[in-house]
Structure 1
Amino acid sequence: MNRLNSSLERILPEQRLFLRSDDATRFIRLRPVTQLVGVSGLTVVFGWALVASALLVIDSVSSGASRDQVRRAQSAFEQRLDQLSSERDARAAEAVAAQNRFTVALDQVSEMQSKLLASEERRRELETGLNVVKSTLRDTISERNDAQRLVDAAGTDAPVAPDRAQEVSVALDILTGELRTAAAERSAALQQAEEAETAIADLELQRDEIIARNDEILTQLENAVTVSVGPLDDVFRSVGMNPEDVLDTIRSGYSGQGGPLTPLAHSTRGDAALSQGASKARQIIVTLDQMNTYRIAMEKLPLAMPVEKSFRYTSGYGRRWGRMHEGVDMAGPIGTPILAPGDGVVTFAGRQSGYGYLIKIEHELGVETRYAHLSKIRVKQGQRVSQGEQIGDMGNTGRSTGPHLHYEVRMNGRAVDPMTFIKAASNVF
């Protein structure tokens, strides 16, 4: 130590600090090593203060940038949500308009079918009358020929008595009148038959136009409902569900059905086109029923956001620090409202080891959600909650480094990434 003091004497000469009182004077000797230690300590403290200040400034700047990014992302998300909502409303309006047009077309087809049946019945009656007129005409012509032969025979073989001649003349006059009447009736019947055939041709043309327009409407409606069902299938597949199993589960609880579709055609002509339209209409009804079943299933899934106020994602689903992180973390101020993302029943509401204050909600279709590190619980076990209802407040309880919500989604007891539900909802709505 003496050698070290001696070597530092030239750089840091020994100093004395005098302490004087009323009756005595004392001094403290500051040796070079002591001065070196003091100077080093002051240097370390100053450097630490400088580094800490820089870190605080950087964190403040990055936090402000993160908040700006979150606001921009939220604004873009809301704009996209509004756009999707407008598109959905437009699709719904188109579907309603198409359904109205479809109903009007069905009524028109039914009316035209009735007119066509009446026209065919009238034509059959006219054909029957024409056949009767033809038969009468043949009989009349045959009687006239027989009478003419009798007259010829009477004129060649023997003189005809005046009375007999008068009778033959009257008979010929009667036959001639009947023949003229039959010819006039035949001409009128032929004209009526031609008019009926023309009317039938016009009716068939109108019917074909109605069938074509009806088929076009059905095609547009079928395309609209098919396009609408596709994203719903993707939603359930993205969250790890089999759409067919989901539909079977929902239908087992909602099994009410209507009667079969009444056949549209009764005529023997054009049945193929009408049957094809009826088949397409039935397929549209089946697809609409599938969409309605999907709508019921969507209402049962927790697709809404548990936090609607400003927050930021601090940790995602996956392995973290050598362990599996089975949820997503959403950081925000203490007391931020936590909302139920879907209808369900509270199965647990209390404190649990590292989760802190924890809420578990059981939804239908085997889905369960968990909300951890809460500062306050606002529901009780066994309580039924609805989508958007406040169930607790964000906090910092349990194993937590700051106020945030740990949000988990489990399907049949197995943890899945909650972001699949959040993204699926954003893609549909």
Structure 2
Amino acid sequence: MSPQSPAYWSDQQVRQFLHSLFEEAVASVQPSLVLAGMLPEKPKGRCVVVGAGKASAAMAAALENAWPDVPLEGVVVTRDGHAVPTRHITILEASHPVPDARSESAAQAILKAVSGLGPEDMVIALISGGGSSLLVSPVQGVTLEEKQSVNKALLRSGATISEMNAVRRHLSAIKGGKLAQAAYPARVETFVMSDVPGDDPGVIASGPTIFSSATAAEALHIIERYGIELPDSARVALFKEAETEKKRTQARQVNGAVHMIATPLQALKAVAEKAEKAGVASLILGDAIEGESAAAGVVLAGVARSVRQHGLPVAGPVVLLSGGETTVTIRKGEAAGRGGRNTEFLLAAAQALAGEAGIWALAGDSDGIDGTEDAAGAIITPDTLMRGQQAGLSASDFLKGHDSYSYFSATDDLVITGPTMVNVNDIRIIFIQ
């Protein structure tokens, strides 16, 4: 075997390789690359563009470049720092993950943009993850402040993204297909970048143009299951919606179609292809892994050790790839330091690996922001724990305090990319020599 073989790569070579694979995942789903080939026939009437999400501004710019001869108009809202220049489509910014007054203003502007359209007109909806908090129009009786408190409670509850969005839909006057209803009879063509396990377009950004089968009664069950404290107004609104659902007989009217332009699996396949070109085998474990971040770290560390020690389920050198969205649950009485699901996953994995030779991992959110921090994620190496101990750090204490960001900041292992303008959820890459 050649000394240049991945089996003999140095720590620095492995780190560079992992960074290159993460960059490939992000590059493979850029809107400028994936949107143009999926656009429909150009409309006869007006073309109004609306959207919400961390990638929505980049999607709007890609649309303008793909259709330079179409008089586009409309409004898109994205997260602070994620705006890009556009010529015709207005780009707004708002707060994420907790909505603010700008989120409510953006929802009003978007509803106004699609009002009064006719059957010859087209609405292009550009939807990506993060749209739930960026596009906020509380149902009657619920204030923005109350909606903010619901969002904070959901984020701390341990509920999955699908469950959180099920609750959000039924407390919104724009989500769950209500934006599409407002645009009727215009045709609504929805272009979605998936950031959820299963790629259900009705879940992404709480599906503003897609009516969901999830009911208000199910949203109430989620509230009860996780013991989420709701303002009285929100609970009353959910009960009213549940009663309305029982009596609803008239079908909702919507024209149009949904197009999935980028998914987590798409990004993972691009990573696998790049790894194999470098002489490293790949195994995609799944694109929809959920559960507690720390528990997932322990499980995947166990798989990595099996590869290293026994060559099962595959022999090294190899990368184990996975996507999806794990969860960090902050229980009552627990400290909440700085950290996101990817850094918590990695710190738990490092503990489980206990310095096992020949295993490295990078985990990061494809949008460049792990939780609410400025890092996409981090890297662990065979000497992660040793370097931490030398710096006087206790990995166990940082993990218990949900302060994984601070641990990796101290060891200089954070992965910082800045906003990537895409969002296909988390990318986890484990390299085993």
Larger Rg: 1
Structure 1 length as normaliser, TM-score? Answer: 0.25
Structure 2 length as normaliser, TM-score? Answer: 0.24
